[in-house]
């Protein structure tokens, strides 16, 4: 017990250095506390004892060093990687302040390295060639494969050699449109090995979205597969790619090669649409190439990948990440936020089509020599116990997922979880949106048997890696709070005018100073990069998120404050959905808002005005939704189309979304002041049509 008390006492020290968490002892004594921010969950003594960071004190020391001496802190960590040439002499340089000129971040400039080498060859040279790098679990239970680090390197080299053979050179963009097959990770690592820039497009995007991304980065090569099975359905991806490529060709981007992996469990060769001369079967060419491939050494600031994400205007933004800083940052954040040890088996349910898959399926874990589970299928197929079946099958120790999945499994009942052992689990993780305290508790109590700390990691496509996250052994958690900043990260909360606010407060979340994993630009549009992220609050990076800080210094993310909707952890711009809707010949105008959704977090709610003479019908509703599916992808389809003879606008013509959000969520007594509307009657008309 005295040991236990010492543990409790150490946990009571605030990691922020601001004193003690005064109510901690009360919680330990089992007293009920009123509000969420007083709700503390401690890591067990056993967990903390073995953790990489085991107390608030240890965190604080490391954090303070990272802020006071960023160059020393990060160069020490970076030295654990292989650099062909070291940076000299500066570790980083930055200008985050638009008022002082062009915004620019550079880390380890002048050094040369290769992330694929560091993820594969370096681990093999350290004696881990025989360790499993990937356990691949197919859509159908029983369909599985594995690759050791040495085998993975061979496959990466074969593809790298093939890509070189067909003329892909350093700096060329390669678009990858693949589901969660091992070939997706192999493709990313092969591009990185030869210095090509990969642009992975989530395989749920439509042909139009894929075309848009191909055209923007002017690729000559697309890597895909013929089809994928998700749950009981097979989806013919190659057909989508064909349409996207014809679209790209029309726009002057003549994709000359479509390397297609034959995913035999989903579709036979004979049934695949094919264009001779342009299309090549992966299995026919790649295995013929040598299993060794010399590395292309690249500058730390050379681009590694592009990943498109939604913003508040219609055109997706090509977020560009470079090599050195991203490598050091993803590896370090992975190691500490999951308390990774060499014996761990790690599973992240994200798809490599999103940033989470880039940083925390592929690069972060492999750079740490981790064993990674890659899952092709759907988490509720063949039933809602699939995740825990996989956890038991591979003895998964670190499990990282999204709140939307937690909530959907929670709805199915505890039985699906408790029938599996799950004894291997050590740390759970959450990402994509704020996790509500009840989902947090279910995840903690039922999935983790009240034994596994939860790392609720707040970050973004732009940040490359975790920014605010628990270090699981280091301090008490509060369900729903992402807790404290990662090393080197200085989050601040600012008011409308951009003044930093201290202590207990709410406002806009910004970041002061650069960090190694930060994106460096928006591809081809540095001006938009500056305007979107650095001009709203001069002197800071603006995240687009609202945030509060409680009396103990814990950060609580409250969601987007711009026109971005977060549906099941997927970022969707209202403008993109509106532009897809108005492309429908019968749609005159559309306004899209997000409404709270029990499972998805938010869902898409669209107000649509039809052109003169057309009346609203079920057929039109369906075809409007189809327009969004075709232009963006099924995941962006509105849940509700609300027929709107008119939209609430100010006299200057600006749509008042505040009012639309209230109507959409049925909060009709909170509409606020409608007198500034050009035509206040519009509101009554919309309310009258709510149930149509
Ligand atoms: O609003 C925040 C939310 O997701 C946004 C970033 O989306 P994306 O770039 O697609 O990256 C998702 C995976 C990192 C953020 O601006 N978000 C992400 N993680 C969290 C979160 N909100 C609250 N808590 C989180 N843990």
Residue 560 Cβ contacting ligand 1 at under 6 Å: yes
Q: So what's the pLDDT on residue 38?
A: 75
Tell which atom from ligand 1 comes closest to the C-alpha of 462: 9
With a 6 Å cutoff on the Cβ, whether 355 touches ligand 1 is yes
pLDDT at 523 over 90: yes
Ligand 1 pocket check for 356: Cβ under 6 Å: yes
For residue 319, the CA-to-ligand 1 centroid distance in Å is 15
Give the SS3 label for residue 580.
Answer: helix
- What pLDDT, in 10s, does the model give residues 616-674? 999 999 999 999 999 999 999 999 999 999 999 999 889 999 999 999 999 999 988 88
Contact in structure between 477 and 27 (CB atoms under 8 Å): no
- The strand pairing partners of 13, in sequence order, are 20
Calculate how far, in angstroms, residue 461's C-alpha sits from the geometric centre of ligand 1. Answer: 8
Lowest mean pLDDT segment, chosen from 22-26, 63-67, 198-202, 512-516: 22-26
562 is catalytic: yes
Residue nearest atom 25 in ligand 1 by C-alpha distance: 458
Mean pLDDT, range 254-267, rounded to an integer: 96
Report whether residue 114 contacts ligand 1, using a CB cutoff of 6 Å: no
| Distance from Cα 568 to the centre of ligand 1, integer Å | 10
User: What confidence tier does 35 reach under pLDDT thresholds 50, 70, 90?
Assistant: low
- Give every CB contact of residue 144 below 8 A, 6+ residues apart in sequence: 135, 136, 137, 138
351 lines ligand 1 (CB under 6 A): no
Task: Give the span between the Cα atoms of 348 and 639, in whole angstroms.
Answer: 27
Confidence of residue 22 (pLDDT cuts 50, 70, 90): confident
At 565, give phi and psi (nearest 5°).
-105, 140
Spot the catalytic one: 144, 389, 525, 562: 562
User: Side-chain half-sphere of 521: how many Cα atoms within 13 Å?
Assistant: 14
DSSP state letters, 454-508: EEE-B--GGGSS-SB---TTTS-B-TT--BSBPTT-EEEEE-TTS-EE-SSEEEE
Q: What share of the chain is helix, strand, coil (3-state, %, to 5)?
A: 35, 25, 40
- Measured CA to CA, the distance from residue 470 to residue 477 in angstroms comes to 7
363/189 Cα distance (integer angstroms): 9
What is the structure's pLDDT at 28? 58
Tokens found for residue 174: 């390669």
pLDDT, residue 26, reads 59
Considering the chain, what is the average pLDDT of its residues?
Answer: 95
CB 201 within 8 A of CB 353: yes
DSSP 280: E
Residues in the chain: 692
Q: Is the CB of 567 under 6 A from ligand 1?
A: no
Alpha-carbon span 247 to 638, nearest angstrom: 25
Structure tokens at 3: 């040991």
Query: Where does residue 26 rank: exposed (0-12), middle (13-18), buried (19+ CB within 10 A)?
Result: middle
Per DSSP, helices labelled H in 166-292 are 182-193, 207-217, 237-250, 282-285
**Residue ID of nearest Cα to ligand 1 atom 7:** 460
Angstrom distance (rounded) from CA 467 to CA 474: 16
What number is the average pLDDT over the span 55-65? Answer: 97
Average confidence (pLDDT) over 1-6:
81
pLDDT digit string (tens) for 437-489? 999 999 999 999 999 999 999 999 999 999 999 999 998 999 999 999 999 99
User: So what's the pLDDT on residue 122?
Assistant: 98
Partner residues linked to 606 by β-bridges = 592, 641
Q: CB atoms < 10 A from the CB of 364, how many?
A: 32
| 264 closest CA partner among 282, 287, 289, 245 | 282
pLDDT digits (tens, 9 = 90+) for 199-225: 999 999 999 999 999 999 999 999 999
Q: Which residue among 318, 400, 459 is best mutated to probe the pocket of ligand 1, counting the most ligand atoms within 8 A of its Cβ?
A: 459
**Helix/strand/coil for 94:** strand
317 CB near ligand 1 (under 6 Å)? no
For 102-122, what is each residue's pLDDT tens digit?
999 999 999 999 999 999 999
Least trusted range by pLDDT, from 247-251, 398-402, 656-660 = 656-660
Nearest residue CA, atom 19 of ligand 1? 432
What lies within 8 Å, CB to CB, of 341 at 6+ separation is: none
Is residue 384 predicted with pLDDT exceeding 70? yes
Check residue 32 and give its pLDDT.
47
Query: In this structure, are residues 91 and 70 in contact, taking their beta carbons and an 8 Å threshold?
Result: yes
Percent of the chain residues topping a pLDDT of 90: 89
The pLDDT of residue 691 is above 60: yes
**247, 207 Cβ separation under 8 angstroms:** yes
Spatial contact of 206 and 240, defined as CB atoms under 8 Å apart: yes
Question: Going by C-beta distance under 8 Å and a sequence separation of 6 or more, which residues neighbour residue 666?
Answer: 690
| pLDDT recorded at residue 9 | 87
Q: Which residue's CA is the nearest one to ligand 1's atom 18?
A: 432
Residue nearest to atom 3 of ligand 1 (CA): 433
- 228 three-class SS: strand
Q: Percent of the chain at pLDDT above 70?
A: 98
Dihedral pair phi/psi, residue 296, rounded to 5°: -90, 115
The residue-averaged pLDDT of 168-194 equals 98
- Beta bridge partner(s), residue 322: 303
Average pLDDT over residues 283-297: 98
Which strand ranges, in their side-by-side order, compose the sheet holding 279-281? 279-281, 257-261, 221-225, 173-177, 197-200, 303-309, 317-322, 521-522
What mean pLDDT is predicted for residues 171-187? 98
Q: Helix, strand, or coil here: 232?
A: coil
pLDDT, one tens digit per residue, over 312-353 is 777 889 999 999 999 999 999 999 999 999 999 999 999 999
């Amino acid at each position: 017990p005295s040991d236990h008390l010492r543990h409790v006492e150490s946990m009571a020290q605030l990691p922020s250095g601001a004193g003690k968490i005064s109510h901690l002892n009360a919680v330990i004594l089992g007293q009920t506390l009123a509000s969420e921010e007083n709700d503390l969950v401690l890591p067990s003594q056993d967990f903390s004892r073995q953790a990489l960071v085991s107390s608030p004190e240890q965190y604080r020391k490391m954090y303070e060093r990272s802020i006071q001496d960023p160059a020393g802190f990060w160069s020490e960590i970076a030295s654990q990687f292989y650099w062909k040439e070291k940076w000299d002499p500066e570790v980083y340089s930055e200008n985050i302040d638009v008022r002082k000129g062009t915004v620019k971040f550079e880390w380890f400039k002048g050094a040369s390295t290769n992330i694929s080498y560091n993820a594969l060859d370096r681990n093999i040279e350290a004696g881990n060639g025989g360790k499993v790098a990937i356990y691949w679990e197919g859509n159908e239970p029983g369909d599985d494969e594995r690759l050791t680090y040495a085998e993975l390197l061979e496959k990466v080299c074969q593809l790298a050699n093939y890509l070189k053979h067909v003329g892909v050179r350093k700096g060329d963009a390669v678009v990858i449109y693949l589901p969660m097959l091992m070939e997706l990770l192999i493709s990313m690592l092969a591009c990185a090995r030869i210095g090509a820039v990969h642009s992975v497009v989530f395989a749920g995007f439509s042909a139009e979205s894929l075309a848009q991304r191909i055209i923007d980065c002017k690729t000559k090569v697309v890597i895909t597969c013929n089809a994928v099975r998700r749950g009981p359905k097979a989806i013919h991806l190659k057909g989508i790619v064909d349409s996207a490529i014809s679209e790209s060709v029309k726009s002057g981007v003549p994709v000359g090669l479509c390397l297609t992996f034959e995913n035999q469990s989903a579709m036979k060769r004979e049934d695949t649409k094919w264009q001779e001369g342009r299309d090549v079967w992966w299995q026919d060419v790649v295995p013929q190439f040598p299993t060794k491939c010399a590395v292309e050494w690249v500058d730390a600031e050379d681009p590694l990948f592009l990943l498109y994400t939604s913003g508040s205007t219609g055109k997706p933004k090509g977020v560009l990440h470079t090599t050195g800083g991203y490598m050091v940052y993803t590896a370090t954040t992975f190691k500490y936020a999951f308390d990774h040890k060499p014996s761990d088996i790690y599973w992240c349910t994200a798809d490599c089509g999103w940033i989470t898959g880039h940083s925390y399926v592929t690069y972060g874990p492999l750079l740490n020599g981790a064993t990674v589970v890659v899952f092709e299928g759907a988490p509720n197929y063949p039933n809602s116990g699939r995740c825990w079946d996989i956890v038991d099958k591979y003895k998964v120790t670190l499990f990282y997922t999204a709140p939307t999945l937690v909530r959907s499994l929670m709805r199915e009942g505890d039985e699906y979880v408790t029938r599996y052992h799950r004894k291997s689990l050590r740390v759970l993780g959450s990402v994509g949106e704020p996790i509500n305290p009840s989902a947090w508790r279910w995840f903690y109590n039922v999935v983790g048997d009240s034994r596994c700390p939860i790392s609720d990691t707040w970050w973004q496509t732009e940040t490359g890696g975790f920014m605010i996250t628990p270090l699981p052994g280091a301090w008490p958690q509060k369900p729903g709070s992402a807790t404290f900043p990662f090393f080197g990260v200085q989050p601040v909360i600012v008011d409308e005018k951009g003044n930093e606010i201290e202590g207990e407060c709410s406002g806009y979340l910004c970041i002061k100073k650069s960090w190694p994993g930060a994106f460096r630009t928006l591809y081809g549009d540095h001006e938009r990069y500056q305007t979107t992220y650095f001009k709203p609050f001069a002197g800071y990076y603006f995240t687009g998120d609202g945030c509060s800080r409680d009396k103990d210094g814990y950060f609580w993310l409250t969601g987007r404050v711009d026109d971005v909707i977060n549906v099941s952890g997927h970022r969707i711009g209202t403008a993109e959905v509106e532009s897809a809707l108005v492309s429908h010949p019968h749609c005159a105008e559309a306004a899209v808002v997000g409404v709270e959704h029990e499972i998805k977090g938010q869902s898409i709610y669209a107000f649509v005005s039809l052109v003169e003479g057309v009346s609203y019908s079920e057929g039109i509703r369906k075809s409007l939704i189809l327009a969004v599916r075709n232009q963006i992808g099924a995941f962006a389809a509105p849940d509700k189309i609300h027929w709107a003879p008119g939209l609430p606008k100010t006299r200057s013509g600006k749509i008042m979304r505040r009012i639309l959000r209230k109507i959409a969520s049925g909060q009709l007594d909170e509409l606020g002041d409608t007198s500034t509307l050009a035509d206040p009657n519009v509101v009554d008309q919309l309310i009258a049509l709510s149930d149509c």
